[in-house]
Amino acid sequence: MLSFLAVILLSYLLGSIPTSVWVGKIYKKVDIREHGSGNAGATNTFRVLGWKAGSVVALIDMTKGFVAAGYISTIAYTFGGVPETVGPWETEIFIQLLAGMSAITGHMYPLYANFKGGKGVITAAGMLFAIEPISISIVLAVFLIVLGTSRYVSLSSIIASLAYPITLLVMRYFIGMDIDGSLIVLTSIIALFIVFKHKDNISRLLAGNENRISSFSPAKGKLNE
């Protein structure tokens, strides 16, 4: 139990690093949460500060999920006493998911930024690249297709999040790949949390006033103009 708690705590603290807030203050001495959509995530950073700052934020946020699932999760084994399975699920996958979900929670509700963070999409992608790269690569393609046709980042994120557990179900039951049940169940929960974090975007999408990406060329950002 102590090993699991150590993984959860360390992953949450890593996820709590408010990348966009710190980059905004270092790069332009602004709080990104006071500009644009007010969201402390990569998309708002791209929009407000431009592609360089946005790319740095996206890379670090993805790394948080990847490191939590791929490396912090292994700390559990240093204490010993880890069971081979957790109920019907493989322990290794379960611990990776536990670590990744803790990092996502930290990203959404960061300890270092008054619990006002981002929406967790990129951190979730980093976690899933560490656990099951094939499925997340497929869903990334879905994200890019929706983004290219709609130019809505929020809609692309929502559809990609919901598409992920569906992709796992297809891979397991129709293709016959060895996909652990914990991955399907827990990523379904993550998808619902991500959709919940997009509730304001959903309202704007339904009202027809959600912001679109105006261009795919590198943008300077509103504060750089």
* Domain-wise residue ranges, the chain: 2-214
pLDDT along the chain (225 residues), means of 10: 88 97 92 91 92 95 98 86 81 93 96 92 97 96 96 96 97 96 95 95 95 68 63
| pLDDT value of residue 184 | 96
3-state SS, one letter per residue, for the chain: CHHHHHHHHHHHHHHCCCHHHHHHHHHCCCCHHHCCCCCCCHHHHHHHHCHHHHHHHHHHHHHHHHHHHHCHHHHHHHCCCCCCEECCEEHHHHHHHHHHHHHHHHHHCCHHHCCCCCCCHHHHHHHHHHHCHHHHHHHHHHHHHHHHHHCCHHHHHHHHHHHHHHHHHHHHHCCCCCCCHHHHHHHHHHHHHHHHHCHHHHHHHHHCCCCCCCCCCCCCCHHHC
| pLDDT value of residue 218 | 60
- Provide the whole-model pTM: 0.91
| pLDDT value of residue 60 | 98
| pLDDT value of residue 4 | 84
| pLDDT value of residue 58 | 97
